[in-house]
Amino acid sequence: MIDPLASLPPTTRRRRRLVTALVAVLIVVSACTGSDSTSSTSVTELAPPDGEANDAEQPTDTQPTDAAIDPRFDIDAVLAADPNCVDPVVGEPLRIGYAADLSELGGPADGPGSQAAVHLANLINCSGGLDGRPVEVVVQDISGDPLATRSAMIDLLTSDVHVLLGPPFPDPGFRVLQVTDGNYAVIFTGSTEPALGDNSSLSYLVAFNDTQGATVAAQFALTKGWARAITFSSPGPYFGYNTLVFKGVYEANGGEVIGDYLFVPGETTDFSDVIPDIVADPPDVIYTPMFAGQLVALRQQLEAAGVQVEYLQSDAFEATGGYTLAGIEGVYHVTHAFPDEGSRIVALNDSLTAAIGSPSDAPSMVALAGDAVAVIADAYLRTGTTDPRTLGLAIANAQGVEGVTGTLSYNGSGTPTKPIYVHQVVNGQAALAATIGS
């Protein structure tokens, strides 16, 4: 499902040259916009849409330097640490910059994500650091705006960061990559945009990508016997792409999408213009990547009109606070981890809750940020250096990194192999409906 990726290009540009040229580069950047009663289902993997592949070729120039240190990052020991310890490790840190989109669109992912990254750095420092080196997370709000991105990136790169975490949506994400220009690794903690998983730009995901997530949604719908679907979409990345992939996989394997209706992400809550069409010919299931609050509004209006259907959503459900809303009982959604009792996702979220005084609205976004920090820690422990490009190259070779959501392996690509989960809301809580992949 992941596009084959080109080998990493050799480059010798260093940070000083990058920062010196940054203002000129960002003038160009700022002109760019672009926008537990439910049983688990066993899902047989179906064919992805044409043009997708899994056999990315291993780059030849990404071998990390050897270091005479233990290369294993002990995530469990870190999660067990007391973030309020009296003697955290001190010294020159491995510095992680977080270019966070804390706007209304990106905030539901990067708000919890940035809190989690800072918290996990504290846990690392209270468990002895990375081979004795502390970790520091520097957060800058890019707000999804080109000029804000410019200012934030100048601040981050002149703060001597060694690696970056990036925003959840592609427009600000690509602006970050234009600035880093392949000299710094950027790990997009909450993004599922396939094009951002590109190791030729030292650009990485820690989540599954939209192709994979929408494919799993279509697989799951068909195994449930839902043969007729309606989708709600918005043209462009994520809100349009997910529905296109869903439709392609669903119809290629025997389903029928009988209609697609438009919405404005984060805004549309009145669906009265399309309710009569759906009442006249109800589907078995509605699939959409819209915000959770919009899905609740749609469901309320359909139920008021007497329509009872199944609801299946992308990972936007949890990322936009679905579990904090009323009217979500029975909704299915694709997501990144299942919060088993005793799991790492529960351990990290419980630790963060204790630290900030309230639970996160998006525990999977917290867990993905934890994965990103674990991947960086693994790269540092394998290389023994804070050199930005060496760290970035090492990530593409990461194998068996124990993260918060599971085990991540990049196999020379920009997107890790990892499980994908489908949850159903049962009694207001997540119940595991299916696990796909490994």
Residues in the chain with pLDDT values less than 70: 1-71, 144, 438
Whether the Cβ atoms of residue 107 and residue 69 lie closer than 8 Å to each other: no
Residues 382 and 346 in one domain: yes
Residues 154 and 31 in one domain: yes
Residue 145 phi/psi, 5-degree rounding, is -110, 140
Per-residue pLDDT, 154? 86
Residues 70 and 88 in one domain: yes
The domain that holds 319 is classified in CATH as 3.40.50.2300
Residues 67 and 197 in one domain: yes
Among residues 285, 309, 335, the one where a domain terminates is: 335
Per-residue pLDDT, 144? 65
- Between CA 318 and CA 13 the distance in angstroms is 40
Residues 106 and 197 in one domain: yes
30 within domain boundaries: yes
Per-residue pLDDT, 143? 84
Per-residue pLDDT, 52? 41
Residues 370 and 322 in one domain: no
pTM of the model: 0.81
Residues 86 and 197 in one domain: yes
Per-residue pLDDT, 362? 86
391 within domain boundaries: yes
Residues 320 and 173 in one domain: no
Among residues 313, 335, 357, the one where a domain terminates is: 335
Residues 321 and 384 in one domain: no
426 within domain boundaries: no
245 within domain boundaries: yes
- Residue 256 tokens read as 């029928």
Question: For residue 133, what are the contacts with CB-CB under 8 A and spacing of at least 6?
Answer: 89, 91, 92, 93, 94, 380
433 within domain boundaries: no
Residues written for the chain: 438
List, in sequence order, every residue forming a beta bridge with 432; answer none if it has no partner.
Answer: 423
Per-residue pLDDT, 319? 87
Closest CA to 164 of 70, 364, 149, 80: 149
Q: Which domain holds residue 298?
A: 211-335
SS3 letters for 374-434? HHHHHHHHHHCCCCHHHHHHHHCCCCCEECCCCEEECCCCCCCECCEEEEEEECCEEEEEE
User: Is residue 342 classed as helix, strand or coil in its secondary structure?
Assistant: coil
Residues 164 and 89 in one domain: yes
Whether the Cβ atoms of residue 22 and residue 159 lie closer than 8 Å to each other: no
425 within domain boundaries: no
- Between CA 347 and CA 353 the distance in angstroms is 10
Helix (H) or strand (E) holding 125: helix 107-125
Residues 172 and 270 in one domain: no
Residue 391 phi/psi, 5-degree rounding, is -60, -45
Among residues 335, 356, 384, the one where a domain terminates is: 335
Per-residue pLDDT, 438? 57
- Between CA 373 and CA 404 the distance in angstroms is 10
- Residue 32 tokens read as 């760019």
Per-residue pLDDT, 149? 84
Question: For residue 6, what are the contacts with CB-CB under 8 A and spacing of at least 6?
Answer: 200
Question: For residue 273, what are the contacts with CB-CB under 8 A and spacing of at least 6?
Answer: none
259 within domain boundaries: yes
7 within domain boundaries: no
Per-residue pLDDT, 147? 80
Cα dihedral 427→430→431→432 (10° resolution): 170
Whether the Cβ atoms of residue 163 and residue 390 lie closer than 8 Å to each other: no
Residues 101 and 202 in one domain: yes
Q: Give the chain's domain count.
A: 2
